Amino acid sequence: MLWNLDGNADAKGKRMSCQIHPTAIVASGAKIGDKVRIGPYCVVDEHVEIGDDCHLYSHVVISGHTRIGCRNRFFPFCSIGHEPQDLKYHGEDSVVVIGDDNTIRENVTINPGTEGGGMLTRIGNHNLLMAYVHIAHDCLLGNRIVMANCATLAGHVSIDDDAIIGGMSAIHQFLRVGRLAMIGGMSGIVQDVPPYTLTAGGYRPGLVGLNAVGLKRHGFSASDMRDLKEVYRLLLQGTGELQSRLEQAYALTDEDTHARHLVDFVQSAKRGITPHRREQRN
């Protein structure tokens, strides 16, 4: 439950269970949950909501219309909720929504949405955003995502559950990264990355097969892997007209399977799919 710091006697009593360092500045309109710890020199603005058991270590600044769930940790020099780096932004009351149990490391920046993108930047649950990660306006992140140091998302990027983004990688605006995809470090991603795949980083990154280790760790069966490999070879390594290959892939897969999810993702791509590296073996 959230309690307004300038509220009634009950709110005052609940506030006593929080630990707010005397050098921190917490606006009177901010809503702070139970057992929240706000460390030295943090700033929390008036429209911010912070759920129970969150910890702001020091020098964290949370601004704008930002709503934060429970048990999140913010390390020093995070900047959350300040206006987006978008010249089309005109001060609209867009929001950042952060779920539960996220770890947000040093110097991470998360910007709110814009009128042209749904007014929302959303971070799910159990994510790890390492130092210097940037989440631009209107990005939508799922759950259990790892973004390594200095990984950067441009605006309107969508990342599905359990994806891993390597350090110093940059993802172009309006792109999608599918579930359980893994992107190697120092990658410049300019097309969608399909679910379950592995992208080799560096100059001109490309797909190099399935994220086999990640899939096994998440309990994918031998038959799941076999079906995904067949669809991968047909859609992402095959030649000929894509529509024909998509029709073949739909005929090979059943609904509500991982393989069908891969087919649906490729079929719905609007900005193309990161290509397979022909010189690599699958």
Q: What whole-number distance in Å separates Cα of residue 224 and Cα of residue 72? A: 34
Here the tokens at position 146 are 């790892």
Give pLDDT, residue 69.
98
Q: What whole-number distance in Å separates Cα of residue 59 and Cα of residue 105? A: 12
Q: Domain segments of the chain: what residues? A: 2-156, 216-268
Kindly report, residue by residue over 9-32, the tens digit of the pLDDT. 344 445 558 999 999 999 999 999
Q: What whole-number distance in Å separates Cα of residue 78 and Cα of residue 57? A: 10
Give pLDDT, residue 201.
85
Give pLDDT, residue 1.
53
CA end-to-end span of the chain: 50
SS3 4: strand
**2-156: CATH architecture:** 3 Solenoid (2.160)
- Which active-site residues does the annotation give? 137-138, 155
pTM of the model: 0.93
Q: Which segments in the chain show pLDDT lower than 50?
A: 6-13, 280-282
